[in-house]
Amino acid sequence: MTERLQNLTSLAPTAKLPAYDRSRLKSGIVHLGPGAFFRAHFAPFTDAALAAAGGDWGIEVASLRTADVADHLNEQNGLYTMLIRDTSGTTAQVIGPILKAHVATRDPAGLLGRLEDPAIRIVSLTVTEKAYGLHTLTGGLDLNHPDIATDLIHPHAPRGVVGYLVEGLARRRKKGIAPFTPLSCDNLPSNGAVLKRLVLEFASRVDPSLHDWIEQTVPFPSTMVDRITPASTDVTYADAERLTGRQDLAAIETEPFTQWVIEDHFANSRPAWEKAGVLMVEEVSAYEKMKLRMLNGAHSLLAYLGYIGGYEYIRDVMEDAGLAALARRHMSAAAATLDPVPGINLEHYAEELIARFANKAIAHRTYQIAMDGTQKLPQRLLEPATEALVHGSKAETYAIAVAAWMRYALGVDRNGKSYELRDPRAREIAHLLTDVPRNGAAVAAALFGLPGLFPAALAKNAAWTEDVANKLEILIQDNRLPLI
Ligand code: CS2
């Protein structure tokens, strides 16, 4: 059997190695959520910054739920392979900044101990939208979110993201240690500001003086993150092994494109990410809105239509000329809701997105992107749709996307086979739809009534909801919209 990736000695020459001395690294960052996206984005950017500028910024990662990735990383001394794929081939790069991995559920006290270590200056997050406990309509804390509800009862023994951050900051304050900078890297608009509001609301319920200290001393920079990263498969592991000569159970694969924009507001120091091509700015919101509305909005549209239409991967959807043209139309509609974005031509940006979606070397499942629709729709589709309607647009591509999500939410494919919705509100959706006749008007009316999802400006717009219901009716009949 092939030896496991555990050090950098005698790897195959096809593997690119960290261009710095790993033994000099010290833990400066705790990262929550070491999923594939973090391993394809944050960690490689930090790796590149170390190579370009030196420094000793090492990362400890912590998984708040499942143990597999953390275990594999520890078995590999934090090393893993990043495969970059495009039609000209696949390259392999071993990524070096991870020093250690924790599993919060196994040792919550251990993780809290790391959060109060003065050496930790940044606590970053890629935990997905649903982990925040954000109430999408109010923008505040969702007191019914399981982690938030439990952590408010036991704030000193947290299990969720906000609970850990607040307890970590509380301990530092008590010991007179400077705060760390929480750095959200999830696909939420103004992710830093959102996180700040949630942390402050949570803290004010636990200890009002803690709320004031956090408000005055802790910066919450927002970020825009971008890199298309499909879930790893057996092909990923096999290719990593072929190109490095080592077995690697933490390998990931991704596209060549990568982008990170960060607000440069940190409590103390940070890695020299700008040396690795990260754009450090004063204000990130214009970039973030562009990416969420143009990339992620079009992605969700294609994922729902593609999945119910029988396409497994986004690249397959893009081979359907009608759907590719629809994606382009939606990107233009999304661009029309944006203010100018510094240094970016939105036409070119859209062209580049189309090419990225069509990358034949990236096997990105429509089913993967379709996941967690109730958490993704608001910022990707519902907010821009609301703005578009106010400005007199018919918001038709948004109606198509919402109808496709509703068709998908029925949980049964065109052959009558059922699939799992994989959404934190899946049970609620199934319950809501139980006795609803399977026609466009009835299903749309039921789903528009899902509490807290659709803003009133959409749910009460008769012309737009009727458009959605009509499109949904067509999708229920035959899973395809004519003439798109
Ligand atoms: C995708 C994103 O799964 C999804 O919802 O839209 O993960 C997308 O691939 C990334 O945001 C690209 O940066």
> Which band of pLDDT confidence, cut at 50, 70 and 90, is reported for residue 416?
confident
The verdict on the CB of residue 473 being under 6 Å from ligand 1 is no
Q: Whose alpha carbon is nearest atom 5 of ligand 1?
A: 369
Using CA of residue 225, residue 228, residue 233, residue 235, what is the dihedral sign?
A: negative
Domain ranges of the chain: 15-281, 285-478
Provide the pLDDT for residue 340: 94
Give the number of the atom of ligand 1 that is nearest the alpha carbon of residue 259: 13
pLDDT in tens, 49-106: 999 999 999 999 999 999 999 999 999 999 999 999 999 999 999 999 999 999 999 9
Angle at 68 between CA 240 and CA 118, to 5 degrees: 100
If you average pLDDT over residues 237-259, what whole number do you get?
A: 98
Angle at 158 between CA 155 and CA 160, to 5 degrees: 120
**Domain formed by 285-478, architecture:** Orthogonal Bundle (1.10)
Residues in a beta bridge with 103: 63
Is 254:227 a contact under the CB 8 Å cutoff?
yes
- Statement: residue 415 has pLDDT above 90: no
- In the numeric block, the tokens 């370009």 are attached to 52
- Give the Å distance between the CA of 434 and the centre of ligand 1: 31
- Statement: residue 185 has pLDDT above 70: yes
Mean pLDDT score of the chain = 97
Q: Whose alpha carbon is nearest atom 11 of ligand 1?
A: 226
Most informative mutation of 191, 287, 296, 307 for ligand 1 (most atoms within 8 A of CB): 296
Structure-token pair, residue 469: 């219901």
Structure-token pair, residue 233: 């498969």
CB-based burial label for 206 (10 Å; 0-12, 13-18, 19+): middle
Amino acid at 439: N
Give the number of the atom of ligand 1 that is nearest the alpha carbon of residue 37: 7
Closest CA to 199 of 279, 275, 115: 115
- Give the Å distance between the CA of 226 and the centre of ligand 1: 8
Q: Kindly write down the DSSP assignment for every residue of 1-40, as one continuous string.
A: -PPB--SSTT--TTEE--SS-GGG-EEEEEEE---HHHHH
Provide the pLDDT for residue 137: 84
Using CA of residue 371, residue 372, residue 375, residue 377, what is the dihedral sign?
A: positive
Most informative mutation of 301, 369, 376, 422 for ligand 1 (most atoms within 8 A of CB): 369
Q: Kindly write down the DSSP assignment for every residue of 191-217, as one continuous string.
A: HHHHHHHHHHHHHHHH-HHHHHHHHHH
Provide the pLDDT for residue 1: 85
- Statement: residue 134 has pLDDT above 70: yes
Q: What percent of the chain has pLDDT over 70?
A: 100
- Statement: residue 359 has pLDDT above 70: yes
| CATH number, domain 15-281 | 3.40.50.720
The verdict on the CB of residue 369 being under 6 Å from ligand 1 is yes
Say whether 285-478 and 15-281 share the same fold.
no
Q: Give the number of other Cβ atoms within 10 Å of residue 474's Cβ.
A: 16
CB-based burial label for 409 (10 Å; 0-12, 13-18, 19+): buried
> Which band of pLDDT confidence, cut at 50, 70 and 90, is reported for residue 11?
very high
Q: Give the number of other Cβ atoms within 10 Å of residue 98's Cβ.
A: 28
The verdict on the CB of residue 375 being under 6 Å from ligand 1 is no
Residues in a beta bridge with 82: 93, 252
- Statement: residue 483 has pLDDT above 80: no
ipTM value: 0.99
Q: What is the pTM of this model?
A: 0.97
The verdict on the CB of residue 187 being under 6 Å from ligand 1 is yes
The verdict on the CB of residue 259 being under 6 Å from ligand 1 is no
- Statement: residue 186 has pLDDT above 90: yes
Provide the pLDDT for residue 227: 98
Distance CA 312, CA 328 (A): 20
Q: What is the 3-state secondary structure (H, E, C) of 317-336?
A: HCCCHHHHHHHHHHHHHHHC
For 80, which DSSP code? E
Closest CA to 32 of 123, 134, 151, 154: 123
pLDDT in tens, 422-440: 999 999 999 999 999 999 9
- Statement: residue 481 has pLDDT above 90: no
247 three-state secondary structure: strand
The verdict on the CB of residue 74 being under 6 Å from ligand 1 is no
If you average pLDDT over residues 306-313, what whole number do you get?
A: 95
- Statement: residue 414 has pLDDT above 90: no
